[in-house]
Amino acid sequence: MTLSGRAVRLTILVDDTDTWHHRPMFTEIVHRAHAAGLAGASVFRGMEGFGAGQIVHTTRLLSMADDLPVAIVIVDAEEKIRAFLPRLEELSIEGLAVLDQVEVVPCRGRQVTG
């Protein structure tokens, strides 16, 4: 699916140790986004961060490396993203979800001539 122009970016921030029925929470969210027919989803693992508990978690040597931040980023048309939000409510996510208005500019691979 090619997406361009105005869209909405949904970013969901969770801990890498969060689970849903013995499955990583970020995996569950990606699979739900796929089943909903959204344009795409990506997961990014953080190296350091803190949340509402104000405890800094980090991957640095000699530090605790549990509960690291994970960001799931989904971009699609606003109506599709908003229709997807109820599928997240039943997960009881103890993180943060953010919606941003964005402009999608398709990137094309280099054209081979010859």
Q: How is 40-106 classified by DSSP, letter by letter?
A: -EEEEE-SEE--TT---EE-STTS---S-EEEEEEEE-HHHHHHHHHHHHTT---SEEEEEEEEE--
CATH no. of 5-102: 3.30.70.120
Q: Which residue has the higher pLDDT, 105 or 58?
A: 105
Query: What pLDDT was estimated at residue 9?
Result: 97
Tokens 């978690």 found at = 57
39-43, 48-52, 84-88, 91-95 — which is least confidently predicted? 48-52
Which candidate, 25, 20, 54, 57, places its Cα nearest to that of 41? 25
Per residue in 35-82, pLDDT tens? 999 999 999 998 777 777 776 667 665 555 667 889 999 999 999 999
pLDDT class of 100 with cuts at 50, 70, 90? very high
Give the predicted TM-score (pTM) of the model.
0.82
Query: What pLDDT was estimated at residue 113?
Result: 65
Which candidate, 1, 14, 25, places its Cα nearest to that of 80? 1
Which candidate, 109, 87, 97, places its Cα nearest to that of 35? 87
Q: Are 10 and 81 in contact (CB under 8 A)?
A: yes
Q: Is the pLDDT of residue 27 over 80?
A: yes
